[in-house]
Amino acid sequence: MHKQRFLSFFYTLILAAGVWSCVNAGQITVDYIDRDPVVWNLNYPLKVSFFGAFVPTEYELVLMNGEKAIFLTNKKVIVSSTNLTITASYPSYLPYPLDERLMLKLWVPAIKSNVVTAVLVQDMSPPELKVIAVSPEFKKGGSALVVFEARDSNLKKVIIKDNAKKEFYPQPYICEGYYMCFLGWYVKNSDYAAWIIASDEAGNMSTNKIPLNTKDVKYLVGKVELGKTFEKDKTKELGLPMSNLQGIDKYAYYREQMLEKKKVNIPELASIHPEGIVEMFTVKAFKPLLKWRVTSAFGKVREYFFEGAKKSESIHMGVDMANEPKDTIYAGNGGTVIFSGYNGGYGNTLVISHGMGIYSMYGHCTELFVQVGETVYSGDKVGTTGKTGVASGDHLHFGMLIQGVYVNSEEWLNPYWIKTNITQVLDKAKKSIKK
| Closest by Cα among 126, 72, 63 to 100 | 63
The percentage of the chain sitting over the pLDDT mark of 70, rounded to a whole number, equals 81
Q: How far apart are the first and last CA of the chain?
A: 83
Q: Do 179 and 226 lie in a common domain?
A: no
Are residues 236 and 374 both part of a single domain? yes
Examine residue 151 and state whether it is found in any structural domain, yes or no. Answer: yes
Q: Do the domain assignments include residue 81? A: yes
Q: Are residues 149 and 297 in the same domain?
A: no
Dihedral angle computed from the Cα positions of residues 322, 328, 332 and 334, in that order, rounded to the nearest 10 degrees: 150
CATH number at 134 reads 2.60.40.10
Where does a domain end: 200, 217, 234? 217
Q: Please give the residue that has the higher pLDDT: either 301 or 353.
A: 353
Residue 3 falls inside a structural domain = no
Instruction: Give DSSP secondary structure letters for 30-79.
Output: EEEES-SSEEE-TTS-EEEEEEEE--SS--EEEEEETTEEEE-EEEEEEE
- Cα 282 off chain centre by: 22
The CATH number that applies at residue 391 is 2.70.70.10
> What does the DSSP 8-state code read for residue 136?
S
Where a domain ends, among 186, 217, 248?
217
Percent of the chain's residues with pLDDT above 90: 69
User: Looking at residue 24, what is its pLDDT?
Assistant: 63
In a domain, 424, yes or no: no
Residues 185, 272, single domain; the answer is no
Handedness of CA 321, 310, 345, 283 (dihedral sign): positive
Query: Residue 83: which domain range?
Result: 22-122
Half-sphere exposure of 115 (CA within 13 A, CB side): 28
My answer on whether 296 and 331 are in the same domain is yes
The predicted-structure confidence for 331-388, as pLDDT tens digits, reads as follows 999 999 999 999 988 999 999 999 999 999 999 999 999 999 999 999 999 999 999 9
Burial class (CB in 10 A: 0-12, 13-18, 19+), 431: exposed
**239 and 337, same structural domain?**
yes
Q: Is the dihedral of CA 10, 15, 16, 20 positive or negative?
A: positive
Please report, for the domain that includes residue 100, its CATH number. Answer: 2.60.40
pLDDT in the model for residue 19: 39
Residues 289 and 401 in one domain: yes
Domain count, the chain: 3
Distant-in-sequence contacts of 101-106, Cβ < 8 A, 24+ apart: 101/66, 102/63, 102/64, 102/65, 103/63, 103/64, 104/38, 104/48, 104/61, 104/62, 104/63, 104/64, 105/61, 105/62, 105/63, 105/64, 106/30, 106/50, 106/59, 106/60, 106/61, 106/62
Q: What does the alpha-carbon distance between residue 186 and residue 171 come to, in Å, rounded to a whole number? A: 21
- Under the banding of pLDDT at 50, 70 and 90, the label for residue 244 is low
Q: pTM of the entire structure?
A: 0.82
Q: Tell me if 354 is assigned to some domain.
A: yes
pLDDT tens per residue, range 136-165 = 999 999 999 999 999 999 999 999 999 999
105 found inside a domain: yes
Do 49 and 160 lie in a common domain?
Answer: no
Query: Distance from CA of residue 335 to its chain's centroid?
Result: 19
User: What are the start-end ranges of the H helices in 291-421?
Assistant: 409-412, 415-418
Q: Would 410 be classed as within a structural domain?
A: no
95, 122, 149: which is the final residue of a domain? Answer: 122
304 and 236 together in one domain: yes
Answer yes or no: do 350 and 400 share one domain: yes
Amino acid at 311: K
Please indicate, yes or no, whether residues 250 and 351 belong to a single structural domain of this protein.
yes
How many residues does this entry show for the chain? Answer: 435
Establish if 63 belongs to a structural domain.
Answer: yes
21: part of which helix (H) or strand (E)? helix 2-22
* Mean pLDDT across 102-122: 92
Predicted confidence (pLDDT) at residue 53 exceeds the cutoff of 80: yes
On whether both 274 and 370 belong to a single domain, the answer is yes
